[in-house]
């Protein structure tokens, strides 16, 4: 029908496809500057390919999370304090869950949105089974400037926050949660990005992709296939009556 089409690369799994037309087209349509996004990603990937040892944040992250896994920490929690990062957490869960969860191995990836989940999940994280660690995502600069208004006669007990930025209060909530969870026996990372720009997201996504590949190889699995996902697809196609799929139930490991 004359529509412009783009190639969906067959050898790139969905979780790694952010920087292909699969991710770039909808991002561009949504008004995101994909050139800046790709520039941020390329900077992260180039740095992670060249830096050595503890100077390489991706290698350090991969090594520490594998060390924690061997020490009995089986769950990693992606913790954000900004609603804009909620679906970055969803993508992160797929990236690590689908890449490492195979051959009876792998950390279980979970994501929480603080400060709302500091109540719904915070009690367990603070005092539950010590099988978890957290990766906090910190955004250094807020795009908005909203200050708490002052009213000495309101009696609401919030006058000590008068004139303070809400973004500052949010950052204090992050530090408070991180300190409390660390004191409660939960190992924590803090990954800081300068802002919520396309370039910063590209850098963050590139970092996680590189680290995920390294981490998978450290774990002894192929981080680029997904045989378990194929199992449910085969069963679904069989139940739907798709030609070529027999009656046998598939259960890839």
CA 187, CA 206: separation in Å to the nearest integer?
24
Catalytic residue ranges: 98, 119, 233
- The structure tokens 């992050």 sit at 174
Q: Tell me how many degrees the CA angle 24-234-92 measures, rounded to the nearest 5.
A: 35
Distances (CA, A) of 109 to 5, 94, 206: 34, 8, 18
CA 176, CA 182: separation in Å to the nearest integer?
10
According to DSSP, the residues that pair with 78 across neighbouring strands are 111, 135
């Amino acid at each position: 029908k004359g529509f412009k089409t783009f190639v969906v690369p067959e050898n790139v799994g969905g979780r790694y496809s952010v920087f292909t037309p699969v991710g770039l087209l909808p991002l561009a349509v949504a008004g995101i500057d994909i050139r800046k996004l790709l520039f941020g990603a390329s900077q992260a990937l180039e740095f992670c390919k060249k830096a050595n040892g503890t100077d390489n944040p991706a290698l350090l992250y991969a090594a520490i999370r594998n060390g924690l896994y061997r020490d009995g920490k089986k769950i990693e929690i992606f913790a954000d304090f900004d609603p804009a990062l909620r679906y970055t957490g969803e993508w992160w869960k797929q990236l690590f869950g689908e890449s490492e969860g195979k051959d009876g191995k792998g950390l279980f990836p979970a994501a929480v949105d603080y400060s709302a989940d500091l109540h719904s999940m915070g009690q367990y994280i603070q005092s539950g089974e010590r099988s978890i660690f957290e990766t906090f995502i910190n955004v250094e600069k807020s795009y908005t400037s909203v200050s708490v208004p002052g009213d000495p006669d309101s009696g609401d007990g919030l006058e000590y926050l008068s004139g303070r930025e809400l973004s500052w209060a949010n950052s204090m909530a992050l530090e408070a949660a991180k300190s409390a969870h660390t004191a409660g026996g939960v190992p924590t990372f803090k990954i800081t990005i300068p802002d919520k720009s396309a370039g910063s997201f590209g850098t963050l996504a590139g970092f996680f992709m590189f680290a995920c590949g390294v981490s998978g190889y450290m774990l002894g699995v192929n981080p680029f296939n997904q045989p378990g996902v194929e199992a449910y697809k085969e069963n679904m196609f069989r139940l739907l009556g798709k030609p070529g799929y027999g009656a046998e139930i598939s259960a890839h490991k």
